[in-house]
Amino acid sequence: MKLISMKICPYVQQVRALLEAKSVRYAVEHIDGGDRPQWLMDASPDGGEVPLLITDEGEHLFQSDAIVEYIDDVVGDPLLTGSPLTRARDKAWGRLASDNYLVQCSTQRSPNEATLKERMEDLTPIFQATERQLKEEGPYFHGSELSMVDISWLPLLHRTALIEQYARYDFLAAYPKLMDWRHALLDTGLQNTSVPEDFQDIFTGFYLNEETYLGRLAGSRSS
Ligand SMILES: N[C@@H](CCC(=O)N[C@@H](CS)C(=O)NCC(=O)O)C(=O)O
């Protein structure tokens, strides 16, 4: 399989986290978002968005949620398991994260504290709902077994950990169960294997620079 990617795209990371969790061999091709090749524009009807999966048979598949379901179906033991209702609910809990990846991105890019707080208000209801849903004993969404919900939340939780590490600002400060869940997911190492080697440099350059509130916080913490 081959995954067409952009280096700090959370949707790509969701797909790569699943591929890594299932120990699938795959290739990655990073494209320049400002100069998308015409073949990608043709293959991914949403304006050449990534990720795009090219299967071993040469078929194209777009939309990360569809891609992860496909991979889960065709490779190894499924992570989306249980009754139709359980699987549907798991997709819904996963979508709660992926539907909010870009909300998190724009929150991280906030130019000042007031804008950050305003944008955080869009994330607060999903954090509150997930905090209520998580099991006390953890460590993962369903308890001891890693599931597709964990994979979908990994990019979002990974990014909160990086922001906390550099800016000492924790999006999850009010949510102890989400913090424990993040800790358990980071213990898997999937956050590192699902991104390119220069991920942290590009991520911090884009989100934690002089133009962002979090970037200035990070600067003041390191000086
Ligand atoms: N709903 C899509 C969203 C994918 C998406 O937004 N990808 C971004 C990169 S993270 C993209 O390619 N955006 C188009 C652009 O930057 O012009 C999915 O789940 O795959």
Q: Are 194 and 13 in contact (CB under 8 A)?
A: yes
Give residue for tokens 């102890």: 176
- Has residue 93 been placed in a domain? yes
pLDDT at 221: 81
Q: Is the CB of 33 under 6 A from ligand 1?
A: yes
On whether both 111 and 165 belong to a single domain, the answer is yes
Q: What is the CATH number of the domain that holds 67?
A: 3.40.30.10
pLDDT (tens digit per residue) in 163-172: 999 999 999 9
On whether both 113 and 187 belong to a single domain, the answer is yes
On whether both 49 and 104 belong to a single domain, the answer is no
Q: Is the CB of 3 under 6 A from ligand 1?
A: no
- Has residue 79 been placed in a domain? no
State how far Cα 202 lies from the chain centre: 16
On whether both 109 and 183 belong to a single domain, the answer is yes
By most ligand atoms within 8 Å of CB, the mutation choice from 4, 41, 50, 61 for ligand 1 is 50
Give residue for tokens 């992926």: 98
- Has residue 151 been placed in a domain? yes
Among 74, 106, 124, the domain boundary falls at 74
Residues of the chain with pLDDT under 50: none
On whether both 178 and 156 belong to a single domain, the answer is yes
- Domains held by the chain: number: 2
Pick the closest to residue 97 from 138, 30, 17, 153 (CA basis). Answer: 153
On whether both 61 and 129 belong to a single domain, the answer is no
| Ligand 1 nearest atom to the CA of residue 8, by list position | 10
By most ligand atoms within 8 Å of CB, the mutation choice from 12, 46, 67, 202 for ligand 1 is 46
By most ligand atoms within 8 Å of CB, the mutation choice from 7, 18, 41, 49 for ligand 1 is 49
On whether both 42 and 115 belong to a single domain, the answer is no
Host domain of residue 42: 2-74
Pick the closest to residue 96 from 71, 126, 57 (CA basis). Answer: 126
- Rg, Å, the chain Cα set: 17
On whether both 123 and 156 belong to a single domain, the answer is yes
pLDDT at 72: 98
Q: Are 183 and 175 in contact (CB under 8 A)?
A: no
Q: What is the CATH number of the domain that holds 147?
A: 1.20.1050.10
pLDDT (tens digit per residue) in 75-106: 999 999 999 999 999 999 999 999 999 999 99
Regarding pTM above 0.85, the answer is yes
Give 95 Cα–ligand 1 centroid separation in angstroms: 15
Determine which residue's CA is closest to atom 2 belonging to ligand 1.
Answer: 63
On whether both 96 and 18 belong to a single domain, the answer is no
